[in-house]
Chain A
Amino acid sequence: MDFNMTEDQKAFVQIAKDFAAKKLAPTIEERDMNGTFDRALIDEMLSLGLAGTYFPEEYGGAGADVLSYIMTVEEISKVDPGVGITLSGQVSLAANPIWQFGTDAQKEKYLKPLAEGTKMGAFALTEPNAGTDAAQQMSVAVKEGDFYVVNGSKMFITNAGEADIYIIFVMTDKSKGTKGISGFILEKGTPGFTFGKTEHKMGIHTSITKELIFQDCKIPAENLLGKEGKGFSIAMQTLDGGRIGVAAQALGIAEGALAHAIEYSKQRVQFGKPICTKQAIAFMLADMATEIEASRWLVYDAAMAKQEGKPFSVKAAMAKMFASDSAMDVTVKAVQIYGGYGYSEEYPVARAMRDAKITQIYEGTNEVQRMVTSGALLH
């Protein structure tokens, strides 16, 4: 059991770290304030190959491993978690299901540009009435000759509007319940496919979230992902992997907040001494650091299990749940350590706390994660 980073992993992490420091850090505050999704910045990040890390070279990837990719999401999220989830959404939720379930033709046409970073991807399962109860899909697809005609909508979709490639899940046979859901690869620009409002979120403002609207949208039959009726299973398996990305994002958020809190506590002088000399503060930092270390190994272990082709659903659920709960706790403590300044948007910890909350919710609420974990224990 080797807990050391390989030379390659160090090199990949360095690329992400340098990119985050030179390109994301200088403008994060402004982009967060204005809710700016900076496509040029994302394109630059993707051009470094960060979306292709673990896909095979023949499909535009680098042939490296899942853990390396997860570490790059973590590194970016230390500075800009909105960009972290943009990357994770593209890789874990859009590219990964094509790689895992797509035909060779689909991989050539859709996986390659996603891995190479020339196109962006998104994943669309959630609807206004179907969150945790994903089976309650209202969007339907009816087969008509060489097409499926889709009607319905999706909500809270990350990368919506910017992505060219969408993995959507719709009802092809209502009578079969979850076994009547199918997955499709939908291209932006397909007639009948439009976007609704942009969500104005509490946090991760640099990530873009919109509604998708399907009105008699005709998807070519060859864009069916996997088999009819297998969509729900594909979605669930995809989310298993996506959870590791969210866990890495949460880990990065927590690490960023801790670093700021430590720095602040060394500089802030009250009663003649830096506040870090007070045990109340020092002990909070110790607790935060420990939560982060525990999160780290859960996240990395889940990533390695996925890489090795071992069952990883439960590990991913535990990692996502623990890392996100930790991120929330760490960021709340970080704001507390900053005191009044922590409440001001001029300092980074308020943003970190706003950013952390969503990690407890998306890609399966932490309640879902607990269902997955307890289900495995009690089956």
Chain B
Amino acid sequence: MEILVCVKQVPDTAEVKIDPVKHTVIRAGVPNIFNPFDKNALEAALQIKEANAGTKVTLLSMGPEQAKEVLREGLAMGADDAYLLSDRKVGGSDTLATGYCLSMAVKKVMADKGIEHFDIILCGKQAIDGDTAQVGPQIASELGIPQLTYAAKIEVDGTKVTVHQQNEEGYIVSEVDGPVLITAVKELNEPRFPTIRGTMKAKRREIPVYSAADIGVDESKIGLDGSPTRVRKILTPPQRTQGLILKEEDPAVNVATLMEKLTAQKLI
């Protein structure tokens, strides 16, 4: 079985700062981490690999050269191969452009590996910097494969994949026979730690870097200029003051308190 996991290096959103002019995230000086949901995706891939002999797990990321850190961490966790798409021309892409670029990179990886298709493509449900949750589904759409999003449980039986898709009420059980893209939620698993030996081995690995030319993208559809959406403004909304919950045992008391407050505010 061949599995691809799309991973992203993101700023640790606990420490993030916003560029006041471009309204984009300032990456410099902010510690970078492996996008947590992508770790859940990779863990799922590694578990499938452990249960299915001969399975290979490949990583793909789109980002600056520094994103190799996350690819190496993924290799240290147990992935077999890693590829990076890195080119100034793809920088600033919105989700549609990113999904397009990544899908072209996936095709290039398949060609380079000499495989017809990936049996499963795993992504985190969303990146913690953009929080759009759009790129995974966009890759599936570009590749023409079904997508099962918000996976809280994955079962693989040959080519049959069964997924519990999380929603507000509970979950939907979906089944696909054949290639599929799955996006992972936190509840899917507890990602393993990379090992010391894994880290040492990953350090020695050559990670191929693709340029926009290598993956044959239409340059009018990539980068800031090729993106149909623009981020106009990123702002922190003013904090709403806390409401008041009236929870006395006796409803009559709650009503009396409420009436008192409404009349005091001259709302009644």
A residues lining the B interface (CB < 8 Å): 7-8, 11-12, 15, 18-19, 47-50, 52-53, 57, 61-64
Contacts and interface: CB of A to CB of B under 8 A. Distances in A.
The residue in B193, B194, B196, B200 that gathers the most chain A C-beta atoms within 10 A of its C-beta is B196
Given A8-B203, A61-B197, 19 more contacts: A7-B69, A7-B203, A8-B199, A11-B69, A11-B73, A11-B76, A11-B194, A11-B199, A15-B196, A48-B193, A48-B194, A48-B195, A48-B196, A49-B198, A50-B196, A53-B196, A57-B197, A63-B200, A64-B200
Contacts of B198: 49
Contacts of B117: none
Nearest to B68: A7
A234 B61 CA distance: 50
Interface in B189-225: 193-200, 203
B113 to A, nearest CB: 26
B125 interface: no
Shortest beta-carbon contacts, A-B, top 4: A49-B196, A62-B196, A62-B197, A49-B195
Nearest to B196: A49
Interface string B98-125: 0000000000000000000000000000
Contacts of A61: 197
Interface of B: 69, 72-73, 76, 193-200, 203
B196 A64 contact: yes
A63 B72 CA distance: 17
A329 B203 CA distance: 39
B76 A49 contact: no
Given A11-B72, A11-B73, A11-B76, A62 B193 contact: no
A347 B200 CA distance: 38
The residue in A15, A18, A47, A53 that gathers the most chain B C-beta atoms within 10 A of its C-beta is A15
A15 B199 CA distance: 9
A12 B197 CA distance: 10
Nearest to A57: B197
27 contacts: A7-B203, A8-B199, A8-B200, A8-B203, A11-B69, A11-B72, A11-B199, A11-B203, A12-B196, A15-B195, A15-B196, A47-B195, A48-B193, A48-B195, A49-B196, A49-B197, A49-B198, A50-B196, A52-B196, A52-B197, A57-B197, A62-B196, A62-B199, A62-B200, A63-B200, A64-B196, A64-B200
Contacts of A62: 196-197, 199-200
Nearest to B73: A11
